[in-house]
Structure 1
Amino acid sequence: MVVGAGAAGLAVSRCLAEVGVEHLVLERHDVADTWRSQRWDSFTLNTPDSMNDGLHAGPDLRTTRSRDEVVQLLAEQAQALPVRTHTPVTAVDSIPKGFLVATPDGTLTARTLVLAAGLRNVPRVPAQAKRVAPRVHQLHTADYRSASQLPDGAVLVVGGGQSGCQIAEDLSLAGRTVYLSTSRVGRIPWLYRGRESLVWLVDCGFWDQSPHDLPDPADMELTIPLLAGGRSLDLRILSGLGVRLVGRFISADGETIGFEGSPSAYAAQADEAWARLRNLVDHHIEEQGIVAPDPATERRPSGPVQDPDTATLDLRAADVTTLIWSTGFTGDLSWVHLPLLGPTGRLEHDGCTAPWPGVWYVGFPWLTRRCSGIFYGFSRDARSIVHAVLHELDR
């Protein structure tokens, strides 16, 4: 049984089908539901086609894929696989030699279980949201589609990661006045020395780093450096578009929002993060004797990043009518009645293997390597899971 018909779950299903393992994929809504219901209209994948193995887009590779293209490609894949949509799993319990899987349509049994339901599909909003003035329209990234759905007026976007910066860009290009609450996040230019920077990092082994390769385990909690599908995006670019940068959100009190930290310092830290990755790429090019354009030709973001005069923002004075929380997602596996969590409440795993025999995870961040939570890593993790499933079924 595979729970979840997103890109990761379908990758496991394809691999199971290839080796002839009877299985069923259960999906609570439609195939690729997170892509359908939690992405804005102009969204594109951050990774180029060459890194999107799970999409099976064909030989005519394009640079990037839009939200709707991702949904269409995954839905087409699912047609050839044993996927049952609109069948939420309400409970999983252990039984001798397998699992009891409860759904509204009845109970099923399975010898093995792959959890592909995701850990980034439940919106996370800080408790301080309740302290914002009631007149301000609030929504999460998951509910944002375009500027046209919002009331007239300025918009405050809280969250300086991928979603927050891309939504700030989207709103600014639509002519809105935008305030962006920033944070410490690296940056990666889309192109460097003639290729996509992310592809260079594939060749450098960056995406294949395992948790054990990191000098500090806390590095697994770092936000993926900023970029956007097909283009560079960072604080300097946003500032050049007219986005008004403020510090990291810390408090709300009616019409007053408090911040800390310095946008200019965050921009400098982002430059330092790219410098470290750039050195990795440059070393690889030199070591392998690759002919590539000179690094001096890199197009660097220009323009200063100004710090605000105060550490607070008066929403009414700034005519802010909407606040978008780009504060990330969490997951919910409470319906799995198995001891999956460790003493600290975190999900335990050894690679893709859960701490209960016959259970595996796929599509979650940092399962086996840095790429486990993105398209580039789904198929490889799926193949390792299927190998383990075959071993378990032979026992």
Structure 2
Amino acid sequence: MTTATRGLDEQTRTIIKATVPVLKEHGEKITKRFYQLMFENHPELKNVFNQTNQREGKQPRALANTVYAAAAHIDNLEAILPKVVSIAHKHKSLNIKPEQYPIVGKHLLLAIKDVLGDAATEEIIQAWEKAYGVIAEVFISVEKEMYEETKNRTGGWVDFRDFKVTKKVVESDVITSFYLEPADDNPFPSYEPGQYITVKAEIEGEPYTHMRQYSLSCAPGEGYYRISVKREDATSEHPAGIVSTFLHEKVQEGSILPISAPAGEFVLDQKDTRPLVLLSGGVGLTPMMSMLESVIEEQPDRKVIYIHAANSGNVHAMKDRVKEITEAHKNVINYTIYASPQENDQYDKKGHIDAEWLSTVLPGPDAAYYFCGPKGFMRAAYLMLKDYGVAETDIHFEIFGPSEDIIN
């Protein structure tokens, strides 16, 4: 990527770096305006972008953080390679195309001009136009490699492919699993534990398709993909989840769902033989279950500690499967925390995970830690693990949104 930035003259790079403080101050306002302008001129892109994340401000904030990081490291874009790769995985899962990048660039520049007004001089706009071209080429190049790798795998595909729901299993009061197999009966690729797929929901009465990413919740090589979806019911602050409600109420065994090939970099390192600690909250158990089921098959002697937090037993999915695994594998230990346990619930701790309790069950800082769950849970887990002395390189997490919400 340094080679790409060499195409930018020194004056352009100087201007870009000078705009960093302004972007930091006005970044979200610019990106919100960007999405407004882009959807007005290209409403078909509402088929691609998650409109719920738009309303809640997650997507504008994520884009603002990416733009800010790129501007701050314009002399050395290798510094943001991890962020590029993470976003590229999501782009691949959504089947973002190279021809969509100029549309994004055009409206980003319009938004910068619109929000900053006279402060966005012609010189600044021209500098950003050049810089965006370089940054876009980086993403297009990384994504091209990913698409080719996916397509060249046995059974691999690009874009969306129809899968049939072969089984629908209610896992708890709010979580249901869907077992998916190719509708064309042709081979399909395996995946790494922790990866996700994108479901394209075509819902009657909705003007646009809705795409949602769901972690695969079983070990690879089972002969199917499995996603376990939490039904997002309406609250005083948010409407019911459009896609989760559709899946729970409308999709049945025999239904067809278009999905993308597995993607994602939040994957279990199966070369690591140190103790493995899995922490999940709520529906965050889905990638953890894939990792747990994988490790007992591929590394049957590896020590595993699985800690799950839920509100109570009636919303705790797959607890019987976890119990079955711990009873069959003496190297696997399971702990359950319920915030509001019900009568007859079996659990190890009431309330929430805290540092004092956690320190009594963890194997020590020198282990591999993976976690997933609601944002508050993940932020607490991250801070507790850092305080516990776990190295940054041993802390792995999945968040479908800005990682800055967790680590800052």
TM-score w.r.t. the length of structure 1 is 0.28
Q: TM-score, normalised by structure 2?
A: 0.27
Q: Which has the higher helix share?
A: 2
- Larger relative contact order, structure 1 or 2 (CA cutoff 8 Å, min sep 6): 1
